[in-house]
Structure formats: structure tokens, C-alpha cells
Structure 1
């Protein structure tokens, strides 16, 4: 049975009214109807997931609930008080509504402790004493992290997962009545995410409510009490925990019931020629050497807890260097060493970094200029870039990758995260690589964009390209990869073949030390 939010709250027999209730919300930006009609009711002490593809209206609804935008129609009821609009982000905070976002919002040069308490102090006075800040900050980090960083350590020295944990800790320190996690788990490693889920359960048992937004259906299945689905600016369903099966949610969001499209079938790639090899490679000083061969036409996954070496290995394959040993192109006889990014490019290796904004995008430039970075020499005429030639090169990728854009001259920042990722991918595909290295490419993009990428990767592999993909999503490894290398403590801990891959075997390998398997 699919019910509306309000009906679901009543059907569960909740005695208390919803702590946050958005009713009939409508919002347009000019001619663009961002929300046609949205309704969500969040009960005290529940985890209420909000899911939908990019462009479904989730982000706009969150901005209305947090006071960033006023609704054009509809009401928001907070603790029984009906509001025409939430009075700005500070007003939302006063009502106990606090948000942690997908973006890792830290000041890198400041310390952990300073970042935890950003926005709390006024200009002229400190609202929380120094010792209390240290005590509470250390306590919440100890809940979230196995090894919490010192409070006086600069945030720029931390891994991405730990920086994001600091952002979540900042929100928890506000003791929210309603905590909104807007893709806030996308940068967390599995161990930290699981600890966060434990914190959420404890907070909810004490009366806190959580709106949980994620494109990862396994997370929704694990933590959510109810799920509201949005599609094309409308609330289309709210389901109880037992009703919210992954295939049902995916179907409601996209019209198809599978994360990986049916036509994306894996085939054996054992016969492909060797295109890349690691020989006695070490990811840390004193670490065990590892061997690895990559063959044309296969998709190899890199997995493990965040910070355990898979990122270093992927970057090593791309010419960023390893602690010891060699990375070689092709077979052992004909291979040339790859020790620099220039070496990698000369060998037909393309690397897509994890941090789009910091490492791959030029946010002040247009969509077309971002695409053209890798093909500038080919597109020059008399020292000038020939835009017509670049457009002719770009448009087939727009169609092939399903890039949704207005004009190619629009700023790259005007695109959704998924479409930005597709532009970066198009940039490197236009250079004609033999080997594609992807660093968590689906982080923070919606299911539709993921499905498009999965289909493209299998198509590329079927055409003979070799793909190595670091992913933090267990389901991606299980459903897409030909084999998976698992890293632990900067060493290759296990290699799982296609026949061995399952959620249980993969997650177990994250926490189990074992003999290194050589490719």
C-alpha cells in the first residue's frame, strides 16, 4: 500500500503530531517548476528518508524546510506552529532544524575544533565556553570515528571521510530536533557511516527526528523507518519500512526496477591482452608488495575502508607514483614504466579524480571549455581554439552520455553533479584512452545518472577499453565489476572474482586480514 505522508503518520498510530510537516508545497523559479506539489510529515523519533533523482525536487524542498527559499504555496508546520515560510537558515536553527550537506563545508586552514563550532559564536561574544567546546567536540568525534583526530589538528590534513565526519559532528553539536542529512554520507567510509547510523538510532530513541537523503538504496534500507519518494517535482509515495524494497523505490523514482540496467550484462574478459601491470608495487614504506595485471575489456573494482590504500593504488596506476615497485604499460616484455602523469597520458591512460570541484572542473569556465581541456591541441587553428570544431567533437558525447544542458556556453556550475561528471568523462573519452581510471565516479549523483554510467562503462569494456574503478558503494562492485581488489592497511588484502562477489563476502573482506591475492 502506498500512502501519503500524513496518512502514514496516522496509520502507524503515532500519538504525537508530526514535528515537521510540509503540506502542498509549490515552488517555481521563473518558468521552471521545481516543485509542483510536495508533502512530507516527519514524526518524532523517526528516520524519514527522502529519495528521488536529481531534479525531482528534493533539494528545493530541503531549502524550503531550512528557510533558504520561501514556498510559492503551501505551509510548513514546525512543532505545531504553522508558518508561511521558515524564517531563514538561522530561523530554522532556532526551530531546531539543522542540516549537514553533501558538500564538505570546512575551512581547511582552521583546526578541527574551530570547524566544529563554526557559526555558533557571535561577533562580540562566545556563546559556548572554550572547555565546554573541547569536551563536547571530543565526545561527538569519539562517537563517529574509531580514531578521532586531535582538536588542534588542521582540517586540511584529514582524509575526505574524516572531514565530512567533522561536518556531521558540527550539526549534531547543535542538538537538533530535526537533523537533515542531505547526502551527508556520500563521502563517509563504511565504518564511519555505520557509527553514524548508531548515533542516529540513539538520537532518535531520545526524540530527535532525521530526514535522510541518499542515492544509496542500501543505506535507505538499513536506516529508514519510512521513505518518501519524489519524482518530477511531486511527492509520489510514502512507504513504511517493510514496503520500501529497493526495486520498488527505484521503480518509483526512475520507472525501472534495477540499479544496473538489464541490458548491462557482464561477460568474461579473460582473453583480453594485458594493458597495464603493477610489479612489486608498495603503497607505503615497508608494506607488502603487490602484483596486478589489467586486461583489455574488463572492469576491475577497488574497494576497502576509506584510507586503506585503494586511492593511492588508483592514483599510482595514473602516474602519481607509488611507494615502491613499478607500474608498467602492457605486458612485461613490451611495457614502459609509468612514473609520471605524462607517462600515463602517453600510454593512453585517463584518470577521473574523486573531487570534481577541486581537481577536475574549472568552475569559472563554460561547459564547452571544460570539455575542451584534453583536446585543445587538436582543436587549435593558427594558435586559436576553433569553437566550431570543439562543438562538433562535443555534441556526439552529449547525445551518447545523455548530458542534460541548456547551451554549451553556459557555466559548468549550472549543471547538476551527475551532468558535470558526464562532461568530465566526455573530456577524457574524446582523447581516445585505452585505459580509464575512475575514482568514485558515482559519489553524489542520482540513480538515473548512475544507470547511464553503468551502461556506458560496459559498452566501453565490450569495445575493448580497460576500466579500473574505485567505488565506495558495495552494490556497484557486486553488480558491475568483473573482479574486485580489496585493500586493507595499504596492502592488497583480497581479490574476489566475479563468481565470489556478494555483499556479504565483500564487506567481510573489508575487515578481514588475509593473504594477498595476486592477479
Structure 2
């Protein structure tokens, strides 16, 4: 077998109080898709930042094209032929596609930018990659999927021999994901080595030539394509077996009191006569295709979007919800699908983010962050929810995705919300952390909280929901009890009217 285009041996990296990587090994061949998996905090991002020149290793060797190299900066790694596409895209929306791809490397005519030459050069690159984009279009006008293509073109404009992709499909629709996969297949055929980081097991099946697993900053093992077995990989990731086919414990909620009654909910934009009921201690799933009305229903209920018709009753009383603050006052908490943008203040600590919905109880003095009561209450929830953090003073941006989600949950528990809406609760969270979130939701339901779970992952809906309301074209096309629900039945209801 030929020499790997990239090989790392014995890589270790530590930060104050944390050993992020210990004696890690990895290699990738030309024309191969190596899928790198592991729980949040396993060391994947740290390793990729070392390979892309953002961090420097403490120990170990990096061999590129048969020679040991020092990667001291991202630019040096790019010029060498190692490029990374981060999960959060790094594009300038007011610049064109061409300007974003060749930023800092634009052709010039004297002191001026040679715009036509830049556009021709970009057009040729896009043709070579079979990416259908106009070099002159502003990036801010593109869909997320097309912006992703710009990121890939930018990375490959450096003549990349190794392309690192970190959760590239987290914000894409199914059709956009398939477009990306076709491009990856073309890059593989041209000999580009790809390191692909993902939490999605279906992507692993579709793309992987080989899988490498990290756990707790250490190399666990690699599996060739013929050896890839999802239960085995999950067990390698978390150190224990997880039953992905598990369902919630059967429980009849028909006699439990109705805590939320929504009737005839409609909006000008999408929703048409959405009606459902949620009972005490019940987990109700919202399933359906992207844009079917699931999140829009949640936003209309909490007052984030204006509703044009319909009634909302909470605990038997008419709830006049015109803005999110009214929803909170009625004991209704919403965990947004984009926790980093809408759910958390990343530069603030765990205590601030936890007490955010209850500041009135902790703002007795200027600078409530020094309030011992707030910190002690936060410590209680950190312990109860098993949030992995060095202290309640830790900045939230330094926590893993699963622990960030737990902080948002703690906020609404501290506010004593009886109804919780979880919108894509495990997006970007690894398998082991997903199970923690599922366990937590079930415990909340057992304690009498009522939960709505919105998820694009059918196995997740089947894993947690007692009943499943399926959306299509802005309305509920059917509701299934978990015992009778299958992925096929859900998809039939989700496709209802799609061809009308």
C-alpha cells in the first residue's frame, strides 16, 4: 500500500487543567474519506486545529507526503496543502463568491484589483469542481448549502491535498446534503484525501472508506470499510453499548390533565389550522420535513411569530401570549434549535446563562454575578443535570455541545417552567451525550413536566416521544402513538400533500 498522504504519530496536547490529546494516531490516504468520530470532548477539534496550524502540538510527529513537517500557522498549512472547513462558516456576506475564495490573493493590475481576471479564475475553479455558482454573486444572497460550496472551493483553491470537513451538513437539507456528498465523491475520485468529522451514523455508512475513533483524547481504533458496524463504533465511542432501537416506556396519558391546548393556530406565512393537546408528564414529538411547520408552530405558540388565528390554553386558562416574555410568564420555556445564536450568551459563564430567565430573583445588587445565591442555585442544577464543567464560573463557549444544551435546560428548570419545547435538542451532539439528553427529558416528564420535542431525526422522535404529531405544508396531517409508529408511517404522513 502507498504511503499515506498524512500521518500523525503520538500527538499530545494539553491546556491548563486539561489533557486534550494523549498519544493520538491517525492516517489518511489520497482519494480516501476517513470519517473521524468521537463524543464531544473526545479531542477531534483539537486534533484538527493542530493539523490546520491553529494549535501547536506538545508531543508527536506530523508526516505529510513522507516528510515530517511543522505546522505553525493556518496559512502555512494551507500553502502546504492541508485545509479545513469549520462547522461555523467563515465567509464575508457583502463580498462576491470570487472575492471570498481568493481573499488576500486577488490578481491585480498595478494598484487595482483585476476584477475580470478574478472572476475568470474563479469560474474556472468552479467548473473544475463542478460547482454551479456565479463568481459575481454576493455570498450573503446564497443558501447555506451554496455557502458551504464556496467554503469548499476556497479550501481547494489552495490546491489542497488534504481537506478537513467539520460537521459540514449540520445546517443542510436532505437534498443539499446529497449535493455535497456527490461533490465529495468527485473529490475522492480526483485523489483528494478527506477527513470528515460527523456525529451522524447515516453519513458514516454513506461516505466512509475507513473510520477512526477517539475517546477522552485518546486513539481507540480504526475500522476498514468492510469492518464498519455502527453498534461497534458507538460502543468504541462511548465505552459501552447503546440500544439505538429503544423506545420510551409505554404509558397511557389519556387520563392526565391537559396542560397545553392549541386549536386552529394559523399564520399568514405558513400555518393552517394547527390543533393539538399536550398532557401532564407527556412527551409529544413534532415530526415532518424541513419547512413543514414544526418550528413555526413553536414560535407562534411562544409569541416569537405573530399568529393570525387560533387559541392557546394553558392549564385550562386562555393564554394571551403576544411575545416570548408572555410565554415565560405562563410557565412555557423554549429551547431554540440554534443554541449558540439564540439560546446562549457564549462569552458569559454558566451561572449567568442559567439565571438568565430568572434575573429578577438574583438582581438585588449591582453586578448580580457575584450573588452567592445565584451561584449556589446554579451549582445545584449543574449537579442535578450532570453538567461537565470545571466550575459555574466557566465560560459557556468552552463547554461541549451536550453540556451547553444542559445549561439551557437548567435555565428553564430554574424558572420553574412546566412546559418545555425542545427544538432539535441533540443537533451537533454526539451519541453518548444524546442518551444523556434523552434520559434527562424522560426524568423531567416523570417529574410532571410536559415536553414537546421537534426533531428531524426519526429515530430520535421514536426514541423519546409518547405521541408523534406529523406536519406537512403547515398543518398536522396525523398523530401516532409511539407503539404504532414506524419511520415508514411517519414519512407517509410527512409527504401528505407534498405533490399537490
Range into which the TM-score falls when normalised by the shorter chain: 0.7 to 0.9
Question: Which region of structure 1 is more displaced relative to structure 2, 184-193 or 499-508?
Answer: 499-508
Instruction: Indicate whether 1:53 and 2:39 are aligned.
Output: yes
Q: C-alpha separation between the residues in 1 aligned to 2:162 and 2:87?
A: 17
Instruction: Indicate whether 1:16 and 2:2 are aligned.
Output: yes
Contact 1:101-1:181 within 8 A present in 2 as well: yes
Instruction: Indicate whether 1:311 and 2:325 are aligned.
Output: no
Instruction: Indicate whether 1:100 and 2:85 are aligned.
Output: yes
Instruction: Indicate whether 1:482 and 2:471 are aligned.
Output: no
2:337 maps to 354
Runs of 5+ in structure 2 lacking a partner? none
CA RMSD between the two structures = 3.3
Instruction: Indicate whether 1:399 and 2:388 are aligned.
Output: no
The CA deviation at 1:42 is 0.8
Q: C-alpha separation between the residues in 2 aligned to 1:139 and 1:308?
A: 36
Question: Which region of structure 1 is more displaced relative to structure 2, 57-66 or 286-295?
Answer: 286-295
1:91 maps to 76
Contact 1:65-1:86 within 8 A present in 2 as well: yes
Change in CA separation of 1:362 and 1:454 when aligned onto 2, cut-off 3 Å: same
The CA deviation at 1:213 is 0.8
TM-score (norm 1): 0.84
The CA deviation at 1:170 is 4.1
Instruction: Indicate whether 1:34 and 2:20 are aligned.
Output: yes
Output one character per residue of 1:323-375: Cα deviation in whole Å (capped at 9) or x when no partner: 532240237x7433433213212221101122223222223322212211112
Change in CA separation of 1:508 and 1:348 when aligned onto 2, cut-off 3 Å: same
Output one character per residue of 1:119-139: Cα deviation in whole Å (capped at 9) or x when no partner: 653797569622443575599
Q: C-alpha separation between the residues in 2 aligned to 1:416 and 1:254?
A: 15
1:291 maps to 275
Q: In the TM superposition, what are the counterparts of 1:36-435 in structure 2 within 5 Å?
A: 36-83=22-69, 85-110=70-95, 114-115=99-100, 117-118=102-103, 120-121=105-106, 129-133=118-122, 152=137, 155=140, 163-164=147-148, 166-168=150-152, 170-171=154-155, 176-258=160-242, 265=249, 267-285=251-269, 288-330=272-314, 334-381=317-364, 385=368, 387-435=371-419
Number of equivalences: 495
2:436 to 440, 452, 456: 452
The CA deviation at 1:404 is 1.4
Contact 1:297-1:466 within 8 A present in 2 as well: yes
Q: C-alpha separation between the residues in 1 aligned to 2:241 and 2:134?
A: 42
Output one character per residue of 1:80-122: Cα deviation in whole Å (capped at 9) or x when no partner: 2222x22421222223222111123333444566545556537
The CA deviation at 1:52 is 0.9
SS of corresponding position for 1:191:
helix
Question: Which region of structure 1 is more displaced relative to structure 2, 185-194 or 45-54?
Answer: 185-194
Contact 2:245-2:463 within 8 A present in 1 as well: no
SS of corresponding position for 1:443:
coil
Question: Which region of structure 1 is more displaced relative to structure 2, 389-398 or 293-302?
Answer: 293-302
The CA deviation at 1:314 is 1.9
Q: C-alpha separation between the residues in 1 aligned to 2:104 and 2:478?
A: 44
TM-score (norm 2): 0.87
Runs of 5+ in structure 1 lacking a partner? 1-14
Contact 1:277-1:294 within 8 A present in 2 as well: yes
